[in-house]
Amino acid sequence: MAYGETLSLKVITARANPAVTLSDAKLHLRVDGSTEDALISALVSAATDMVERRIRRSLIHQTFRWTFDGFPEGPIELPRSPAVSLTVSAVDYPRIRYYDENGDQQTLVEDTDYFLDLDNNPPSLQLFADGGWPLTQMNRPKSVEVDFVAGYGASSTDVPELLKVCVKMLAAHWFANREAVGVVGTEVPFAVESILSMYHDGGL
C-alpha cells in the first residue's frame, strides 16, 4: 500500500486532560503538599507522550491530521489507535478531504464513498467492494488529508489501568532520578517496557 512520498501526521487538537491526574500521580509518588506540582504534572505529560509514541496509541482523545500525496490502492490504515467515530462542532470524524483533478478540495462521504473499520489494530477506512478512491490533482503534494480522533476517552478514567501504571512508573522513575536520567525519556524501567511491548504488538 503506497501513500506517495510525503507523509505528515500532526496534532490539531491536543488532549484536554491528563492521562493520570495530578492527585493520582502524587499518591503514587507519596508526595504531600503542592511544591512539586508543576514538576509532577510535566513528568506525567512527558511520560504520556513517551507511552503514546512507543505503542502508537493515544491515551486521551486527540485530533490528528494525516496528509499524504495520493490515495493508496486499498484501505487507509490510520497511524494511531484507538480511532473513534465522533462528531465535534458539526464535523464528523474521521473525515477524508482531497484536492481533485481541478485543484478543488472535496470531502468524501462516510458510508457512501467508504466505510469505517475502527475495531482492528490498525483502524482503517475501507473501500466498498465495487469502489475506488478518486483521482487527485497531479503533482500536488499532500493532496489527501485525513482528520481523525484517537484515544481511549476524554478523561483519565477511560485509560486502561495498565497504561496508567506505565505513566505513573515512568513519572516516578524520572522524579526520583533527576540527575541520573539527564534528559527525560532516556531511561525506561523494565516493567514499563514489558507492558508497552504487549500493547505495541497488538496483544491488548
Provide the β-strand partners of residue 150: 62, 83
- Residue pointed to by grid coordinates 526520583: 176
Q: Is the pLDDT of residue 153 over 90?
A: yes
The dihedral built from the CA positions of residue 118, 122, 124 and 130, taken in this order, carries a sign that is negative
CB atoms within 10 A of CB 44: 26
List, for residues 28-38, the tens digit of each pLDDT value.
999 999 999 99
pLDDT tens digits for range 98-136: 999 999 999 999 999 999 999 988 899 999 998 999 999
Question: Considering the chain, what percentage of its residues have pLDDT values greater than 70?
Answer: 90
| Lowest mean pLDDT, pick from 38-52, 66-80, 168-182 | 168-182
Q: Residue 78's pLDDT is what?
A: 95
Domain of 70? 1-204
pLDDT band at 193 (very low <50, low <70, confident <90, very high): confident
- The total domain count for the chain is 1
Helix (H) or strand (E) holding 176: helix 161-176
Q: Is residue 45 classed as helix, strand or coil in its secondary structure?
A: helix
pLDDT in tens, 158-188: 999 999 999 999 999 999 887 654 455 456 6
Burial class (CB in 10 A: 0-12, 13-18, 19+), 176: exposed
pTM, rounded to two decimals: 0.86
